[in-house]
Amino acid sequence: MKINEAVIAVQQQLTEKRFKHTLRVAETAVILAKKNNISEEKAELAAVLHDYAKFRPLDEMKRRILTSSLPNDLLQYHHELWHAPVGAVMVMEEHGVTDREVLGAIHYHTTGRAHMNGLEKVIFLADYIEPGRSFPGLEDVREMAQVDLDHACWLTLRNTINFLMGNKSRIYPDTFHAYNDLTTSLNGGN
């Protein structure tokens, strides 16, 4: 899928506010990809497509989870998580996107996962730090993103886990696995 086709397809699915967010995520992703020797083209495509299913009806997303190879345990967690894995399935089925790296980056952009590849880290982080965002702890992550992609992702995961715990929200296991994986990596394997 060409980037201009992706932009048109996504714009039709999103509110104006969310579409502007998407464009900022794409700009941020390209910068992070370039800085970390990751495909800028794949980063831009994954970023443009990352929220493709964001505003799909919940019953449609639930049906997609139940009828695809997605893990059914997603249904036990807040529906805000669903759009990422469902979006990966939908861009594959509706637009023929088959690049596994791009699909993985879309799938894991909300939760992260253990052993994220570079593109997954870029999209996960770009969605969090794009210039339109503003919340406590964000500036530290933005600064770290200029220096160390792994450490910036770790900070993002830490902040996310702390936020969800503070709200007494359930946390999807992939988020804990991502946090533990990066903690081990940053501590030299210990």
| Residue that wins the pLDDT comparison between 189 and 17 | 17
- pLDDT tens-digit series, residues 29-87: 999 999 999 999 999 999 999 999 999 999 999 999 999 889 899 999 999 999 999 99
Res 189 pLDDT > 90: no
Q: How confident is the model at residue 188 (pLDDT cuts 50, 70, 90)?
A: confident
Look up residue 148 and give its two tokens: 């160390």
Only one residue has tokens 């501590």, namely: 187
Contact 155, 144 (CB under 8 A): yes
| Domain 3-133 belongs in CATH node 3.40.50.720 | no
Extents of the domains making up the chain: 3-133
Phi (first) and psi of residue 172, to 5 degrees: -65, 135
For residue 123, give the nearest of 56, 53, 37, 27 by alpha carbon. 27
Position 190 scores a pLDDT of 64
Position 136 scores a pLDDT of 87
**Which pTM was predicted?**
0.95
